[in-house]
Every structure is written in structure tokens, then in C-alpha cells.
A and B are shown apart, each in its own frame.
Chain A
């Protein structure tokens, strides 16, 4: 962890227009929760549906994408990353710092609103709020790591990230049973299910598998990103 790099990364990520991208999705989630409450269509079943499909299913991967790629990809794109890399600081430390920034941003912009939305609808009933908040936190951290790695691997990180979030996590993960085992979204729901006692939330992956997979994917992505930065090359315009 390097304080200077963290500070610059926070400023780049939260400064100016980009912060609105991070605010938009949680705002929609909270607005939907308020709407359901107002029309009195709340209840546990609706709450679980909203959190599953929108909070964890849509908002979480997109926020992970914005934060994860946002801490590294723009800097690689415009060359500013050289300012950080041409310093006597180990590159894995730079990757770890950037990951912590992205993970903390996802925690604030995804996990906290997820808890708030659930609380708005059903209070603390059946542990749905805390379950989904924890699931969103852990899943969001994994997304941040994976998308940060993507940002160090390819210049098309955002495009590929959106394709992954929509096609794999959205379509394949929901309709192809086997693929569910390899979806961050499903792992996050498994964590939520563990905490929550709600009958409306059922998952088919064991906690052991989900926890191991989350840990492995997160740690692996951060280590790999560090190695990518160690071999960072400037190819020049020639």
C-alpha cells in the first residue's frame, strides 16, 4: 500500500465526471426500492428479487467494472502510469494499492446502497439486508480485482468487461446451470444466502466452493496484475 499512489488514484477515480457514473446505479437502486415501498409492493419476495437481479446482477458488475478498470486503464491509455512506474517502488505494491482503492470504492458505492435498499424495503427481516450487503461487498471486491487485471492486460478493458458482465454473468450465468459455478455474481449470492434465512433466496453452489473461488480469483487477479505491471512496456509511436 502506497499513500501517494492511493491518493492520486482516488482523485482520478472520484474527481469530476467519473464520480457520477458511480453514483448513478446506486441511485437507481434506491429509487426502485423507494418506488416499491410507495406502491406497497414491498415484502421479502420483492426485496430479494430486486437485490438479486439489479443490485448483485447488474449494478455490482458494472460498478466493479468502472472502479476496477478506472484505477488503471485510463492511466495506461494516456501514459500517466509511467509517472508511477518510473519510481523505486515494487510494481506488485502499485497493483495492490490500486486494487485497494477500487475495492474500497465498490464497497462504498455498491455494498452500502445494497444494504440501504434492502433496509428501506423490509428492515432487517430474515437477514436479507446484511446478507446481500456482505455478498455485494465480497463479490464487488472480486469484480474490482478481475477488472483491474483486465485493465492491465488489454486496452479494450471496458468493452470486454461489459461483454463479460452482460453475456457471461447476465445470460449464460442465469440460463446455463454449469456456468453458474463460475460466476462471481452467483458466488456473491451464495454468500448472501448463507447469512440470510429468507426462503425466497436459494442458491445451488456450496459456500466452501464460493468462498474458495472468490479468494482465489481475487488474489490471483491482483498478483497477476502486479506481474503485468512489472513487464509494462512502452511501444512508442514509431
Chain B
């Protein structure tokens, strides 16, 4: 099944959270990537029928999602908040989901879903005794219990320990491989890279990039980088660097050199060689703009 967003915008008063986004989420795993506050949750809530678009349309195979409870036959939603009843056991929680879906064999379906997330062991304990990762898994089980064609997960890997994270990543990947439409949001590039075949990047409410993760990864790596370098002789290193085309500009500051590298790969190979030839000892090389914000803002500027 396909989720289609056509010129979707959402604003709160004067604040625009999502701005004119058009995208189609098809079968397989799609990662919705963007820094915090980019509008990922807003977009995901609109896909899940928990927010009306201010403009544009959000549809599931042509039917409107907003105010249409029938879509939940095909959609499983894992919300970001710890939305679980603490007084129920994990099994009761997943079973309630199965019964609300009016499945023919709710007990069987609940058991299967709990096994899928490896929660059979703790299934008969109250949810209030669970760790954050366990709550997350039980939420995933409740969302999967009716075998939905579409699965939406809002920051699903938050709060999980590495082993649980690996397991959920495997699960998400296999759901995608089975031909389900799986979308998850994340602000961590590595998570998206490991699970998603397809990436949609959202920055400041705008659709910044879309495509295969390798392609986007390459674009992110090939952007100009800013490095801060400290060495035994900054001045001599600077003059050696400036002679090469891969360093766009070099400036000498109190804290060391600031090098604007135009060609990332070439620069990373060049720096140690130059230092050795000039007999300069390098003490520190640190990226000055490695945060996601600057990576994303580069993508935004490129695409506009």
C-alpha cells in the first residue's frame, strides 16, 4: 500500500511546521530523517490520522486518512510517547489490541505478536514494571497484532539498549522485506542508514532530500567540511595547505587553523602527508561542523 502526501502543509497559528511536502511512501522501509523540531512527528501524525493537514491531502491508496477510522485495518501505529496502560500486563495490552481489531483468534494473534518482539518471558508482568525498551517492544507488538500492511513508527529506537535496538532493526527490516510499507522517523543518520532502503529528509518543515540512502550519504559526505587543526607549527602547515586545491580557505586563529575543505576525501588524505613533508606535528584535527544541523542545512541550500 502507498501513503501519498500531496502538497501537504501544516501550521499552528503563524508557525509553519510542515511546508508543502509531496512524497509517496511505498512498500519497503522508509526512514524519515531530520533534526529535532524538523516536523517529522507532525508529518507522521498526519499519515497516522492524528492530525489534519492545513493544506494538501494525505491518502492511503487513494482514501483520505483524516477522520477515517477504517484506515486502521491497514495501519499499525507505534507512537513516540509511552502510551501504555501500566495496570495491564503486556499480554493483556496486546490482547486488547487484537480484540479491538475484532480478530478471529485474538489470543493466538497476541501470542504471535509477543513472540515476534521477544516479549513472551515478561508478557504476564504488569507494564508498569517494564523498562523503557520493553514498553517500546510491547507497543510494537500491539501495533503488529493485526498484521497491518502499513506500519508507522515514531522514533522507535529511542530508549532501547543496543541489543534491543538491533533486534527491532532486524524486525523492521524483515517487515519491509515482506512487502509491507514501513515508515519510521529518526534524527540519527546511522539508524536510518542501517534499516531503511529509502530516505526522506525533512529540515525545518521542508522536504530537503529523497532517495536511496547511499546517494544521500554520498551527498552528505561530499559537502564542504570545516576542520579545526592544531599542530606544532600552524603557520607552516597553513602555507603548505593553501597550495593545494582541496583546501578552499585556511585561516589562522588563536585556537589553531580553520580549514575549509572543498574535497573531503582528498583533504583527509592530503593533511597527514603534507604535515609529514613539512615536518609539522599534528596534535588535533576536529570537524567544526559535523552536527546534523549543518549537514541538513547544506542539503537544504543545495536543493533550493
Contacts and interface: CB of A to CB of B under 8 A. Distances in A.
A227 to B, nearest CB: 10
Contacts of A176: none
A83 B69 contact: no
Contacts of B142: 83
Interface in A1-39: 2-5, 7-8, 11-12, 15-16
A5 B102 CA distance: 12
B69 A90 contact: yes
B69 A15 contact: no
- Range of interface residues on chain A? 20 to 34
A101 to B, nearest CB: 15
Nearest to A3: B99
B100 A236 contact: no
Contacts of B99: 3-4
A15 B88 CA distance: 11
Interface stretch (B73-81, B108-116, B212-220, B260-268): B73-81
Given A89-B100, A237-B41, A82 B69 contact: no
A98 interface: no
Nearest to B74: A88
Contacts of A235: 12, 45, 51
A40 interface: no
Interface in A159-178: none
B89 to A, nearest CB: 12
Contacts of B84: 80, 83
Given A231-B52, A235-B51, A238-B37, A89 B69 contact: yes
Contacts of A82: 50, 77, 79, 81, 83
A155 interface: no
B72 interface: yes
A-side binding surface: helix, strand, loop or mixed?
Answer: loop
Interface string A43-86: 00000000000000000000000000000000000111111111
Interface string B44-67: 010011111000000000000001
Interface in A212-238: 230-238
Contacts of A79: 79, 81-83
A15 B77 CA distance: 27
B186 interface: no
Nearest to B139: A83
Nearest to B36: A238
A91 interface: yes
Contact of B85 (A83, A86, A230, A237): A83
Contacts of B143: 86
A234 B143 CA distance: 17
B17 interface: yes
Contacts of A87: 69, 72, 97, 100-101
Contacts of A15: 87
B37 A233 contact: no
Given A80-B84, A235-B45, 13 more contacts: A8-B85, A80-B83, A80-B85, A82-B50, A83-B83, A83-B85, A83-B96, A83-B97, A83-B142, A88-B72, A88-B73, A91-B69, A237-B41
9 contacts: A80-B85, A84-B100, A86-B143, A87-B97, A88-B102, A89-B69, A231-B67, A232-B50, A234-B50
Interface of A: 2-5, 7-8, 11-12, 15-16, 78-91, 230-238
- Nearest 5 interchain pairs by C-beta: A236-B41, A79-B83, A79-B81, A234-B50, A87-B100
